[in-house]
Amino acid sequence: MSCCAVGAASMTVAEGGQALPASEELWLASRELGGGLRQTELSVPGVHCGACIATIEGALRDRPEIERARVNLSSRRVSIVWREEVAGSRSDPSEFMRAIAERGYQAHLFSPGVDAGDDLLKQLILAVAVSGFAATNIMLLSVSVWSGADAATRDLFHWISALIAGPALIYAGRFFYQSAWNALRNGRTNMDVPIALAVTLSYGMSLYETIGHGDHAWFDASVTLLFFLLIGRTLDHMMRDRARSAVSGLARLSPRGATILHPDGSREYRSIEEIKAGECLMIAAGERIPVDGRVLSGTSDLDRSVVSGESAPVTVAAGDAVQAGTLNLTGPLTLKATAAARDSFLAEIMGLMEAAEGGRARYRRIADRAARYYSPAVHLLALLTFVGWILVEGDIRHAMLVAVAVLIITCPCALGLAVPVVQVVAAGRLFQGGVMVKDGSAMERLAEIDTVLLDKTGTLTVGRPRLVNAHEITPGALATAAALAVHSRHPLASAIQDAAGAVSPLACDIREIPGAGIEAKTVNGVYRLGSRDFAVAEPGPESGQSEAILSLDHRELACFRFEDRLRPAAYESIKALGRLGLSTVILSGDREPVVAALARKLKIANWHAELSPRGKVEACAAVAEEGRRALMVGDGINDAPALRAAHVSMAPATAADVGRQAADFVFMHSPLSAVPFAIETARRAGRLIRQNFVLAIGYNIVAVPIAILGYATPLVAAVAMSTSSLVVVVNALRLKATVPTATGGAEILPLSLTASRTTA
Amino acid sequence: MNTLIYLIPIALILGGLGLAAFLWALKSGQYEDLDGASWRVLDDEDCRP
């Protein structure tokens, strides 16, 4: 089981030079429990089996300051309760992160205040429990009635049933009553209207029958109905909840705070909301810039890929403006904040996002669309039955009984389960393949798409460069360059290290010149690694590719060329999308030659370069105007408005916070094959949902005439309802069996899993 | 009919006990981590719950 740590380490979440959060940041985020204890929640996306639990808990338990630590495998979180002081010294919570990281797991600070959804889930589970209890007990009594209890015994049983059913309906049925009432008040109708009506009418009618010593009571039907429907509702909610906790637990790209430099020279670590415009901030190399600002002093390279989609880092010096969300790579900077966090670049994006509320706001869930036709038909049928029986027999009581039987038989029990069960099974399948689904409607929308819009940096590529001309470089030069490169966080430096493998240290005086390169004074002379300007002191020909030069005393030793690395399985995935009958388009914020080269390589004919966030939204809108439905896949802050504007959207786990929040799907493993896999699964789920509808309607065609003719006794109703529900659930479970398909969707899953293991 | 007088309350009380046990389990957080629980049962090191 030692495989786990390896697999965990290769989970490509939050790569790209993200340092462990500072001790102050962890203090700020921890919750005080009283009695000198504090609690910290960490997200560890890499845990996935029992060995992982034992490893992490063991590692944490060994530390003296930790009171208790518990891993939650479902939400991939670790909750640590620790003492503020041990033996007189202040505890350092960043040690916990280090202890976890040493075992090969990535740990991220979990943002508090995202657990709002949990309460409703708990309420729903309670309601399921209560209605389940009521349903079983009433069913017991009903079985006795059906097997021949009569006269006083039957009345007694009916009364007891009524006493159990009443409170259960009020307590567990309130979700449906509220939803039905909201729909009716707005002049609409949804699935909950026939449910609420059938449940209430059948209870009222049964109570009336019980008072009049009647033969038939429908208490069991109304409570069982509620029980089944609540299961569907709870499953639907659970799916959303699981995705939410997994997604929100990922690495945060925006920092929680920054060090403020006061005019008197004192320093203070403050949370990001409290930073005001005009204050001076100190940003160390490797930190993200929290708010928009202007550089006061220092030189550095900024990685703007998340903000603008540009793949090459940009050099900044005193006087340059910097945007919130960019990553400071090489040198320390002192900034003057020009805007508070809520007015920063990010806020601008938020504004665009609100304006870009696209297909999802107009989208109506399949079940609701079905209900629009279904519930008027059902109510009309019950009414006609009622009127018909009055005309035939003239007995209002009997007519009412038959009408209630029709309502119960036609109640969308199977329909209520038809959609959520399929979607939960599909979500489980996607979860295993490393794809999170935010909610059921996203899956329905994904099944409808015909166009895929792809961002370039961070989506088609991993946003990290790769050395392309390693074969032209002598091993000696590569080793020297790697020895220099270990001293820098610059992405090109990391690429040289990756290419060189093991690095032997160079005994010399090494310093990094931000915005230029690395310099090492050795006995042989001065080695320099960096831009052409810096290394050989003369500007060379401008090439489209990014490059780095290694020189000895201004004499060129080697020229390293880089290109952005494709995301694993990108080419195969684009082909798979083609096989699924989808057209692909690249929407990038990067420069035109870079995008054109990539499009040629992936054989994508349709591409757009140098798009602003607004441009991406407009591209989405243009696709929608042509009557097509688009899936947007993107990761950056600049993609977030487009992710919101598209019919449905998807983001990798490495995406910026806003991007991940805006997307409907998030994929955790690095290969791009997650995209065709998700589309394939969503389409199969869509097919199963339609099959389930056909099954449910077929059941109604058989059962409704029986009810209209007045032959439906409570026993018949109970059997029919349970059978139809079971059939629908069993049909949904077929999705679990992996059936190889023409598009190869089933084979994509193992591929994505093995690939994430081997990239370690 | 006489037997019903105590059989029915017994049935209801037993059912109610089941419900109460479930509610207790839910409140005490035993449904928080179902995936983890299925692994923990195989864990040999018997430590704190």
pLDDT in tens, A296-353: 888 888 887 777 767 677 888 888 888 887 888 877 888 888 887 777 776 667 677 6
A438 and A577 inside one domain: yes
Grade residue A475 by pLDDT with cuts at 50, 70 and 90.
Answer: confident
Structural domain count, chain A: 5
A570 membership: H or E segment, kind and range = helix A570-579
Grade residue A70 by pLDDT with cuts at 50, 70 and 90.
Answer: confident
Pick the residue from chain B with its C-alpha nearest to A67: B48
Q: Which of A320, A318, A325, A316 lies closest to A345, judged by CA?
A: A325
d(CA A229, CA A269): 51
d(CA A735, CA A685): 7
* Contact (Cβ atoms closer than 8 angstroms) between residue A658 and residue A349: yes
Per-residue pLDDT, averaged over A28-55, amounts to 80
Greater pLDDT, A158 or A524: A158
State which of A533, A565, A597 marks the end of a domain.
A565
A187 and A322 inside one domain: no
Give me the CATH number covering residue A64.
Answer: 3.30.70.100
Give a yes or no: residue A752 inside a domain: no
d(CA A507, CA A635): 41
Q: A336 is written with which tokens? A: 């003057």
Give me the CATH number covering residue A508.
Answer: 3.40.1110.10
**From A53, A61, A74, residue closest to B40, measured CB to CB:** A53
Residue A724 has pLDDT above 60, yes or no: yes
Q: How do A606-608 and A583-587 pair as beta strands?
A: parallel
d(CA A107, CA A77): 9
Percent of chain A surpassing pLDDT 70: 85
Grade residue A57 by pLDDT with cuts at 50, 70 and 90.
Answer: confident
- Which pLDDT value is given to residue A726? 84
- Which pLDDT value is given to residue A170? 92
- Which pLDDT value is given to residue A112? 52
Q: A594 is written with which tokens? A: 């870079």
Measured between alpha carbons, how far is residue A149 from residues A144, A152, A155, A643 in Å? 6, 9, 9, 62
Say which residues have a Cβ less than 8 Å from residue A617's Cβ, sequence separation at least 6: A352, A356, A641, A642, A645
Q: What SS3 class is residue A7?
A: helix
Q: Which of A56, A54, A49 lies closest to A102, judged by CA?
A: A56
Q: How do A630-633 and A451-454 pair as beta strands?
A: parallel
Ranking A222-236, A332-346, A688-702 by mean pLDDT, the lowest is A332-346
Ranking A32-41, A571-580, A682-691, A751-760 by mean pLDDT, the lowest is A751-760
Helices A745-758 and A3-10, axial angle in degrees (round to 10): 100
- Which pLDDT value is given to residue A127? 92
Strand partners, A466: A563
d(CA A448, CA A445): 5
d(CA B22, CA B28): 10
Query: Could you give the count of Cα atoms lying within 13 Å of A106 in the half-sphere of its Cβ?
Result: 23
Grade residue A489 by pLDDT with cuts at 50, 70 and 90.
Answer: confident
Q: What is the pLDDT of residues A577-591, one digit of tens each?
A: 888 888 888 888 877
Give a yes or no: residue A361 inside a domain: no
State which of A298, A316, A350 marks the end of a domain.
A350
Q: Is B40 on the interface with A (CB under 8 A)?
A: yes
d(CA A226, CA A239): 20
A560 and A631 inside one domain: no
- Which pLDDT value is given to residue A6? 41
Most confident range, picked from A70-79, A160-169, A396-405, A608-617: A160-169
Pick the residue from chain A with its C-alpha nearest to B48: A68
Say which residues have a Cβ less than 8 Å from residue A1's Cβ, sequence separation at least 6: A49, A50, A51
Grade residue A165 by pLDDT with cuts at 50, 70 and 90.
Answer: very high
Chain CA centroid to CA A269, Å:
31
d(CA A451, CA A585): 8
Residue B17 has pLDDT above 90, yes or no: yes
Q: Is B5 on the interface with A (CB under 8 A)?
A: no
- Which pLDDT value is given to residue A373? 79
d(CA A118, CA A245): 10
Report the sign of the C-alpha dihedral through residues A707, A712, A718, A720, in that order.
negative
Grade residue A15 by pLDDT with cuts at 50, 70 and 90.
Answer: very low
H helix count then E strand count, chain B: 2, 0
User: Cβ A50–B35 below 8 Å, yes or no?
Assistant: no
Most confident range, picked from A41-45, A69-73, A711-715: A69-73
Q: Which one of A44, A55, A68, A74 would you mutate to disrupt binding with B, by most B Cβ within 10 Å of its Cβ?
A: A74
Report ipTM for this prediction: 0.81
d(CA A715, CA A237): 31
Q: What is the DSSP letter of A549?
A: E
d(CA A402, CA A711): 8
Measured between alpha carbons, how far is residue A747 from residues A519, A684, A756, A759 in Å? 49, 15, 15, 19
Cα angle, residue B32 at apex, residues A756 and A424 outer, rounded to 5°: 60
d(CA A35, CA A430): 43
A576 and A636 inside one domain: yes
Question: A98: domain range?
Answer: 3-109
Q: Is A170 on the interface with B (CB under 8 A)?
A: no
Q: What SS3 class is residue A69?
A: strand
Place of tokens 């699924």: A580
**From B19, B33, B47, residue closest to A73, measured CB to CB:** B33
A541 and A481 inside one domain: yes
User: Cβ B32–A122 below 8 Å, yes or no?
Assistant: no
Per-residue pLDDT, averaged over A57-63, amounts to 86
- Which pLDDT value is given to residue A11? 36
User: Cβ A53–B1 below 8 Å, yes or no?
Assistant: no
User: Cβ A54–B45 below 8 Å, yes or no?
Assistant: yes
A131 and A237 inside one domain: yes
User: Cβ A153–B48 below 8 Å, yes or no?
Assistant: no
**From A53, A133, A137, residue closest to B39, measured CB to CB:** A53
Considering chain A, what is the average pLDDT of its residues?
Answer: 79
Q: What SS3 class is residue A656?
A: coil
Q: A348 is written with which tokens? A: 């601008």
Strand partners, A750: none
Grade residue A354 by pLDDT with cuts at 50, 70 and 90.
Answer: low
Strand partners, A32: A38
- Which pLDDT value is given to residue A5? 44
Most confident range, picked from A549-563, A692-706, B10-24: B10-24
- Which pLDDT value is given to residue A387? 92
User: Cβ A129–B12 below 8 Å, yes or no?
Assistant: no
Q: Is A130 on the interface with B (CB under 8 A)?
A: yes
- Which pLDDT value is given to residue A634? 86
Grade residue A412 by pLDDT with cuts at 50, 70 and 90.
Answer: low
Q: What SS3 class is residue A450?
A: coil
Greater pLDDT, A18 or A127: A127
What's the one-letter identity of residue A475? P
Q: Which of A523, A518, A489, A486 lies closest to A503, judged by CA?
A: A486
Grade residue A167 by pLDDT with cuts at 50, 70 and 90.
Answer: very high
Over A594-609, what HEC string results?
Answer: HHHHHHHHHCCCEEEC
A584 and A672 inside one domain: yes
Q: Which of A303, A309, A306, A305 lies closest to A588, judged by CA?
A: A309
Q: What is the DSSP letter of A190?
A: -
- Which pLDDT value is given to residue A22? 64
Give phi and psi for B46, each to the nearest 5. -90, 100
Residue B1 has pLDDT above 80, yes or no: no
**From A68, A126, A156, residue closest to B23, measured CB to CB:** A126
Q: Is B11 on the interface with A (CB under 8 A)?
A: yes
A457 and A590 inside one domain: yes
Q: A703 is written with which tokens? A: 């059962």
User: Cβ A74–B16 below 8 Å, yes or no?
Assistant: no
Closest Cα in chain A, distance from residue B47 (Å): 10
Q: A577 is written with which tokens? A: 């999308």
- Which pLDDT value is given to residue A249? 53
A145 and A285 inside one domain: no
Query: Could you give the count of Cα atoms lying within 13 Å of A697 in the half-sphere of its Cβ?
Result: 12
Greater pLDDT, A368 or A254: A368
Cα angle, residue A535 at apex, residues A531 and A541 outer, rounded to 5°: 55
d(CA A584, CA A577): 8
Rg (C-alpha) for chain B, rounded Å, is 18
Measured between alpha carbons, how far is residue A327 from residues A225, A249, A285, A658, A694 in Å? 55, 21, 8, 16, 53
A26 and A59 inside one domain: yes
User: Cβ A133–B23 below 8 Å, yes or no?
Assistant: no
Residue spans per domain, chain B: 2-31
Give phi and psi for A296, each to the nearest 5. -90, -45
Per-residue pLDDT, averaged over A229-258, amounts to 70
State which of A76, A109, A142 marks the end of a domain.
A109
**From A54, A61, A130, residue closest to B43, measured CB to CB:** A54
Over A129-181, what HEC string results?
Answer: HHHHHHHHHHHHHHHHHHCCCCHHHHHHHHHHHHHHHHHHHHHHHHHHHHHHH
Q: Is A73 on the interface with B (CB under 8 A)?
A: yes
Give a yes or no: residue A754 inside a domain: no
Give a yes or no: residue A640 inside a domain: yes
Place of tokens 């049909």: A731
H helix count then E strand count, chain A: 26, 29
Q: Greatest CA separation found in chain B?
A: 55
Q: Which of A416, A333, A337 lies closest to A371, judged by CA?
A: A416
A124 and A231 inside one domain: yes
Report the sign of the C-alpha dihedral through residues A396, A401, A403, A407, in that order.
positive
Closest Cα in chain A, distance from residue B28 (Å): 12
Per-residue pLDDT, averaged over A18-28, amounts to 65
A488 and A400 inside one domain: no
- Which pLDDT value is given to residue A238? 78
Grade residue A7 by pLDDT with cuts at 50, 70 and 90.
Answer: very low
Q: A335 is written with which tokens? A: 């900034």
Grade residue A130 by pLDDT with cuts at 50, 70 and 90.
Answer: very high
Q: A697 is written with which tokens? A: 């309607």
**Residues of A noted as catalytic:** 455
User: Cβ A73–B18 below 8 Å, yes or no?
Assistant: no
Q: What SS3 class is residue A513?
A: strand
d(CA A727, CA A722): 9
